[in-house]
Amino acid sequence: MLTARRGIPRIARKIVNGEAVRFAAFGTSMSTHSDFGVRKSGYYLDEIVPTMRRRYNNPRIEMLYRGLEGFPSLWGVHRVRSDLLPAKPDLVFLEFAHNDVGFPPAAGAAMPAIIALIHSALPNCEICIVLLMPPGLAREGPNEAMRVHDEIAEYYGFPTFDLATLGEQVVAGGHATWTGDPRTALTTDGVHHSERAVALIGAPFANAFADLVQASLALPQYPNVPSPPSELVRADRIAVRRFADSGWAFGEAPMEMTQRRSAAAYINEIAVAQNVGASFQVSFVGRHIQVWTLPLGGAISASLDGRAQTTELRPAGEGIWKLVTLASDLNDAPHTMRVTVERLPVTFGDIHFVGELT
């Protein structure tokens, strides 16, 4: 389950010395808590803090949950600055393999960018990579997404916790089922962990992590390995409000918008068009720009440097947010993008971009 590599010597010393320590889990809906998103699914993390407090007699240890429902690492990189860095964690559990199963090549670029952003702002922050998978996808051994994440961990020397294989072993051994009776199933819905996972996944994970802390006390504090160059280190997000003209209403997403997806994972606030012709304009130097929409049948036109095209926002299902690409693969030069409502209804979340605003 654990590949220790260069360990976590910085945080290990803080833990045993009784210093305040902050863990943060940054990843998919598998790392959500009841106060972040529409469900709690981060049961695999529940034993970390109590185990560490007991074993090292340090009550000053806490865990932050920064799970992002539906997010692969390619989307998560846009949230590092806003969701993770302000918390100033001492250690981050990166848990994106679960959703990167559909985007393995993209993870090879996004994960190093996430790591570069963390180490640029928090050079003493240590990182572990957690491998989780939907049921059955690790039954035959590591899949491509797992291999990509493990190769990234090997490059940097980060510890890896293979909880995907552990889950398959638990089920194969007859200790639990993936679905079914909530008293014995590892998941609530065939994907997200149930409370049963606390004992069967969370406890072994916590004990392995505590062992890693002990082993890391004997290891030197290596300098951080530089990340490969990546344009994704320029990834960020910002609310539509900053650029909107008249004709919009702003606020939090109503509950009916969060039935199937957590709006909190996609937006700071929603921007609801009040009339046809409502628009916003963004000027930037960069390569890529997208916007979160709640597609309910409206239409928009997106004009890049004066060249316009119309995009139909066909319904994707109740409460399903969609990331719409406004422009990509641009030359790295100044651009102006104007988005105009052509047909109602139109609801936007945050803008994702790779570049710098001007």
**Per-residue confidence at 353, pLDDT binned at 50, 70, 90?**
very high
Query: 203-232 as b/e, with b when 16 or more CB fall inside 10 Å?
Result: bbbbbbbbebbebbeeeeeeebeebeebeb
Question: Is 320 a residue whose pLDDT tops 90?
Answer: no
Mean pLDDT taken over the chain: 91
**Per-residue confidence at 156, pLDDT binned at 50, 70, 90?**
very high
More confident residue, 312 or 196: 196
The structural domains of the chain, ordered by start, are 2-216 (3.40.50.1110), 235-357 (2.60.120.260)
pTM: 0.93
More confident residue, 318 or 289: 289
